[in-house]
Amino acid sequence: MPLQILLKDIPNYHEIEVYRQHGGYHIFKKAVSKKPDEIIDEVKKSNLKGRGGACFPTGLKWSFMPKDNSMPKYLCINGDESEPGSFKDRQIFEYNPHQLIEGTLITAYAIGAQTCYIYIRGEYVKWIKLMQKALDDAYAQGFIGQRMKETFDCDFTTEIYIHKGAGAYICGEESALMNSIEGKRGYPRVKPPFPAQCGLWDYPTTINNVETITNVPEIIDKGGEWYANIGEPKHPGTLLFGVSGHINKPGVYELPTGTLLTDIIYKYAGGVPGNKKIKCVIPGGTSMPPIRGDQIEGLKMDAESLKAVGSAIGTGGIIVMDEDTDLVKVLARITKFYYHESCGQCTPCREGTGWMLRVLNRILDGKGTSKDLDLLIDIANNIEGHTICALGEAAAWPVKFTIQRFRDEFEARVGREIILPIANKVHSMRTTLEPLTDIQVG
């Protein structure tokens, strides 16, 4: 049986009494018996990497928080989960909410945060209600808020609030998330300053993903070295892989990092319907560069292995596409999403996403040329690296790498040269029966 850290096979584990019967909330009592720096050092030993896509070392991020306790400090848990192909965090909200809450308490103690926000995307109505119920139960037991002093015999207290988003993909970016909590438009902020120095309401703030924080109680309970020995050494632990697309058993699978992609697809997710060949796999949500089906043999699912083949682990959202998939349609649909979700703050992203979508639609309409393929890559290159946040890369990478890696398929859909109608004729001549070339100026 695969190792279970996040999604445990325990009936009714989402209920607070069942969670407590299996050691829940006792780990926080163990944590407050140590110094905050000792907690941070333990997480550093574990080499826990962020599960939101960037894979930044969690303990190192915590250590950036100033030690000065004279100012307010904040912790934000990012559960926006708007990346197409990613649906892992909602599994935690539904099946293991109290481990997330206990992880939040431990993290808040380690960094000295007096206020915590769990930010959940607005479309997750069901999971917001489930999470709020778990939070209410924890408050009722005295595990959060002022009663913590009596419950855990400590001097530390913190408050936890659920903040509902309004469905904007951009608010999954950490600084846009903070603007959203403050009641402002979800625009990413220019960095530096970074959140640890100037975050919510200009006070120090740490932002972590839901899956990242849910790992913390197990690390504190069993030790950083225990966690560091799970999976790949440079990217240890288990990951929640959300498998979708042309697959017999779509779902979320918790497996150690470094698990073979072919094992995830065929051993756990039941293979491809009709035993068709795989044309393409997106390994970490639609913003990650795709991988050709003939390159997946022997490929491990961890940050370093995917980086070596020109992709990234992202959120672990694996999208499988079989041999009959129309990749031009897929790419146009992905591009439409990022065009719609661009916040419009940066010109390259605001304008570039629209240009890429129009060119792709032109190809779908049978009016594209081979020059359009180079044009799309050129537009993508002009977006990549020229925006405040990573949505520019999220929009550019699918276009750039899908065309480069499946060029033959795109070439088959375009002509060498197609003459498009000229839209800017002299207005008075648009309806004339006499060709403009035959009109002589006297």
Mean pLDDT of 309-321: 97
User: Taking 60 as the threshold, does the pLDDT of residue 254 lie above it?
Assistant: yes
Q: What whole-number distance in Å separates Cα of residue 154 and Cα of residue 160?
A: 18
Give the pLDDT score at 439: 47
SS3 408: helix
Q: For the chain, what percent of residues have pLDDT higher than 70?
A: 93
Same domain, 133 and 194: yes
Residue 429's pLDDT band (cuts 50, 70, 90): low
In the chain, the number of structural domains is 3
* Pair 362, 218 in one domain: no
The domain that contains 369 carries what CATH number? Answer: 1.20.1440.230
Question: What's the average model confidence in pLDDT over 424-442?
Answer: 52
CB 320 within 8 A of CB 245: yes
Nearest one of 350, 47, 306 to 187, comparing CA atoms? 350
What integer is the mean pLDDT of 10-21? 98
The mean per-residue pLDDT over the stretch 44-73 comes to 94
Residue 439 domain-assigned (yes or no): no
Over residues 5-14, the mean pLDDT reads 97
- Report if residue 252 sits inside a domain: yes
Are 211 and 108 contained in the same domain? yes
pLDDT of residue 430: 55
Separation CA 440–CA 437 (nearest Å):
8
Inside any domain, residue 138: yes
Crossing angle between the packed helical segments 347-364 and 370-383, to the nearest 10 degrees: 160
Supply the pLDDT for residue 256: 97
pTM tops 0.85? yes
Question: Which tokens go with 229?
Answer: 């020995």
Ramachandran sector of residue 298 (left: φ over 0; alpha: ψ -120 to 50; beta: rest): left
From CA 287, how far away is CA 271, in angstroms rounded?
23
Q: Is the pLDDT of residue 438 over 70?
A: no
69 with 189, same domain? yes
What is the CATH classification number for the domain harbouring 271? 3.10.20.600
Spell out the alpha helix ranges (H) of 47-182.
58-63, 89-95, 97-111, 125-140, 148-152, 174-181
- What is the overall mean pLDDT for the chain? 94
Structure tokens that stand for 400 in this block: 């750039």
Domain that holds residue 161: 16-229
Q: Tell me the CA end-to-end span of the chain in Å, nearest whole number.
A: 89
pLDDT (average), residues 30-52: 97
Cα 69 from Cα 107, distance rounded (Å): 15
Instruction: Check which CATH number belongs to the domain holding 154 and give it.
Output: 3.40.50.11540
pLDDT at position 3 is: 87
Tokens of 218: 């197990």
210 and 243: one domain?
no
Round to whole Å and give the CA distance between 355 and 361.
Answer: 10
pLDDT band at 133 (very low <50, low <70, confident <90, very high): very high
Same domain, 92 and 239: no
> Looking at the domain assignment, is residue 100 inside a domain?
yes
Q: Are residues 25 and 126 in the same domain?
A: yes
Query: pLDDT tens digits for 184-214?
Result: 999 999 999 999 999 999 999 999 999 999 9
50 and 141 assigned to the same domain:
yes
> 360-374: per-residue pLDDT in tens?
999 999 999 999 999
pLDDT at 442 over 50: no
130 in a structural domain = yes
**Domain closes at, from 304, 322, 340:** 322
Stretch 418-430: mean pLDDT = 58
For 144-175, the pLDDT digits (tens) are 999 999 999 999 999 999 999 998 999 999 99
pLDDT of 69 > 90? The answer is no
Q: Based on the domain organization, do 70 and 96 belong to the same domain?
A: yes
